[in-house]
Chain A
């Protein structure tokens, strides 16, 4: 690991960088005046009045579906290494995986039953 040592500089530099960053933020947070006038709060400082809300609202249902999808999608990651060496692992690993998938399914069933999948 001796080539690591010579890169200490970089680590130190990073540390110092992080420190400067933090210090900067801290100082500005200390000294900045805090008087938000409605005009300042305008999204466009040129004074152009903003029409309509700044952020477009999605229905939270989208997020819910996204959540469920992400979880089950990612958990499948575990299937790949298992599938690759399935031959030499044999029955035991198969049972393990069945249990794993059963747990996932249980979760899915729960989400289903609790109406997380219903479009509201």
Chain B
């Protein structure tokens, strides 16, 4: 066992989790501050040694390559920001912070494994390790009817999705006789596209579709997002999606490059349906969390196009898009959390005249939404530019046209929010400015900076993503 070193980031995070658990056991409630500090330090250490440890494989199951490193960085950043989101979670929601952090970190750990897994078992474990904590976190406030209901729905559908994915795995295993993704390729070439293989692939696609929240496997998203505590919604929308897409890239790119014609065609259709449905359904929403949920479905529709254009350009633009999406979405949710803290409401009416009450928050929300809509010169525009260009160069003209039209359509509801913030009169009782705690301020500053920087000067991240993907596709 020479190269344990490669597992170091995961190990550190795992020990952080246990440490937080122990501290939570022995500490009295007054020391709760340590829990947050501890998890922050743990995450930071993980990030650091993520970039120290060399690339390489641990056994046949675990590969720490550039792609994994990129995705892990995104996820850990999201984790960091979400921990800051929920700095005084127990005060706001009146539920214990220790378990909350443990669950959150475990979910992050699961995604780390997803990002590195090259073997079905590990991927499956990683998937479940990602999902269960998220389910529990969604239903973390069972006293709140919405939270309970969202959690239950999420649980059942997640179990179903995972089971279907697993069933697909088992069929593929029965056909190819191996759980190694690389080893699948020759085996499947030898067997050819037998019905067994096709059914397996089909079930896997369905499972992935669930994780990426593609129509028609998306039904859980709005309810789970609305039910979950807002910080968790943010984590779901960013890290959860990232997990789904890295899982898809790992499985399909490593295991099924031969069947690309099968799944890229399916994904093209799913992408089209998903973006249309997400955008249309978002228009009549008046609950910010729900609106953002549908917008995230639409975003997933865009991102999947990168899988359709299954080439260096496509995959690298997925990575870039995920990064831009992280900043924009977390900024938006940061404002939502801030407003929720002050007015206990996530309805659109709580945002009326926000520009007059607290202009900074209003400006950040404006930037975030415009970036999500893909307005230059913000991060979202650059991301859409690369993504659409990639798909265009792969010859899916109709898909690009549809995506552009959808982006225009999405402006409809983003502008609705902006209008509420800037044009409409604040409610009589909501005139005092929204107070923003320090932790939240840090998140907002970081994300806003990200939105602007990625939009104005995207080349470093783009080049990084490109070289990572090149290495990934040509081992």
- Tell me the bound Cα distance from A92 to B199 in angstroms: 41
Interface residue stretch chosen among B18-26, B363-371, B423-431: B18-26
13 pairs of residues in contact across A and B, judged by CB atoms under 8 Å: A1-B175, A1-B196, A4-B175, A4-B194, A5-B194, A8-B195, A11-B195, A12-B195, A106-B18, A106-B21, A109-B25, A110-B21, A113-B25
Of all A-B residue pairs in the complex, the 6 with the closest CB atoms, nearest first, are A8-B195, A1-B191, A4-B196, A113-B25, A11-B195, A4-B194
- Tell me the bound Cα distance from A110 to B191 in angstroms: 49
Instruction: Decide if A103 is an interface residue (CB 8 Å cutoff).
Output: yes
Chain A min CB distance to B61 (Å):
15
The answer, among B1, B25, B196, for a CB contact under 8 Å with A110, is: B25
Q: In this complex, what residue of B is CB-closest to A5?
A: B194
Which residues of B sit under 8 angstroms from A92, Cβ to Cβ?
A: 1
Which residues of A sit under 8 angstroms from B1, Cβ to Cβ?
A: 92
Which residues of A sit under 8 angstroms from B195, Cβ to Cβ?
A: 4-5, 8, 11-12
**Which of A1, A106, A109 has most B Cβ within 10 Å?**
A1
The answer, among A5, A11, A106, A113, for a CB contact under 8 Å with B199, is: A11
- Tell me the bound Cα distance from A103 to B175 in angstroms: 36
- Tell me the bound Cα distance from A8 to B198 in angstroms: 11
Which B1-43 residues have C-beta < 8 A from chain A? 1, 18, 21-22, 25
Interface flags, B178-198, vs A, CB<8A=1, else 0 = 000000000000010011100
What is the count of residue pairs linking A and B with beta-carbon distances less than 8 angstroms? 24
* Tally of chain B residues near chain A (CB < 8 A): 11
**Which of B22, B195, B196 has most A Cβ within 10 Å?**
B195
- Tell me the bound Cα distance from A110 to B98 in angstroms: 11
Q: Would you call the interface of chain A mostly helix, strand, loop, or mixed? A: helix
- Tell me the bound Cα distance from A4 to B22 in angstroms: 52
The answer, among A1, A12, A106, A109, for a CB contact under 8 Å with B194, is: A1
Chain B min CB distance to A96 (Å):
10
**Which of A5, A92, A103, A110 has most B Cβ within 10 Å?**
A110
- Tell me the bound Cα distance from A96 to B386 in angstroms: 46
The answer to whether A106 and B196 touch across the interface, beta carbons within 8 angstroms, is no
- Tell me the bound Cα distance from A8 to B22 in angstroms: 54
Chain B min CB distance to A106 (Å):
6
Beyond the given A4-B175, A11-B195, could you list 4 further A-B residue pairs with CB under 8 A, ordered by the A residue number? A4-B194, A5-B195, A8-B195, A109-B25
Which residues of B sit under 8 angstroms from A106, Cβ to Cβ?
A: 18, 21-22
Q: Taking beta carbons and an 8 Å cutoff, which residues of B are in contact with A?
A: 1, 18, 21-22, 25, 175, 191, 194-196, 199
Which residues of A sit under 8 angstroms from B175, Cβ to Cβ?
A: 1, 4
- Tell me the bound Cα distance from A5 to B196 in angstroms: 8
Which residues of A sit under 8 angstroms from B196, Cβ to Cβ?
A: 1, 4, 11
- Tell me the bound Cα distance from A114 to B1 in angstroms: 38
Q: In this complex, what residue of A is CB-closest to B190?
A: A1
Chain B min CB distance to A12 (Å):
8
Which residues of A sit under 8 angstroms from B194, Cβ to Cβ?
A: 1, 4-5
Q: In this complex, what residue of A is CB-closest to B198?
A: A11
Q: In this complex, what residue of B is CB-closest to A2?
A: B194
Which residues of A sit under 8 angstroms from B22, Cβ to Cβ?
A: 106
- Tell me the bound Cα distance from A49 to B175 in angstroms: 56
Which residues of A sit under 8 angstroms from B199, Cβ to Cβ?
A: 11
Which A61-120 residues have C-beta < 8 A from chain B? 92, 103, 106, 109-110, 113
- Tell me the bound Cα distance from A97 to B290 in angstroms: 45
- Tell me the bound Cα distance from A18 to B246 in angstroms: 31
Which residues of B sit under 8 angstroms from A113, Cβ to Cβ?
A: 25
- Tell me the bound Cα distance from A8 to B199 in angstroms: 10
Q: In this complex, what residue of B is CB-closest to A14?
A: B199
Chain B min CB distance to A29 (Å):
16
- Tell me the bound Cα distance from A11 to B200 in angstroms: 11
Chain B min CB distance to A35 (Å):
25
Q: In this complex, what residue of B is CB-closest to A7?
A: B195
Q: In this complex, what residue of B is CB-closest to A9?
A: B195
Which residues of B sit under 8 angstroms from A12, Cβ to Cβ?
A: 195
**Which of B1, B22, B25, B191 has most A Cβ within 10 Å?**
B25
Q: In this complex, what residue of B is CB-closest to A112?
A: B25
- Tell me the bound Cα distance from A92 to B4 in angstroms: 12
Which residues of B sit under 8 angstroms from A103, Cβ to Cβ?
A: 18
- Tell me the bound Cα distance from A67 to B196 in angstroms: 37
Chain A min CB distance to B142 (Å):
12
- Tell me the bound Cα distance from A113 to B24 in angstroms: 10
- Tell me the bound Cα distance from A11 to B195 in angstroms: 8
Chain A min CB distance to B168 (Å):
13
- Tell me the bound Cα distance from A5 to B195 in angstroms: 7
Chain A min CB distance to B418 (Å):
40
Which residues of A sit under 8 angstroms from B191, Cβ to Cβ?
A: 1
Which residues of A sit under 8 angstroms from B25, Cβ to Cβ?
A: 109-110, 113
Chain A min CB distance to B85 (Å):
24
- Tell me the bound Cα distance from A113 to B27 in angstroms: 12
Q: In this complex, what residue of B is CB-closest to A113?
A: B25
Which residues of B sit under 8 angstroms from A1, Cβ to Cβ?
A: 175, 191, 194, 196
Which residues of A sit under 8 angstroms from B18, Cβ to Cβ?
A: 103, 106
- Tell me the bound Cα distance from A12 to B199 in angstroms: 10
Q: In this complex, what residue of A is CB-closest to B192?
A: A1
- Tell me the bound Cα distance from A8 to B196 in angstroms: 8
Chain A min CB distance to B134 (Å):
19
Chain A min CB distance to B37 (Å):
20
Chain A min CB distance to B178 (Å):
14
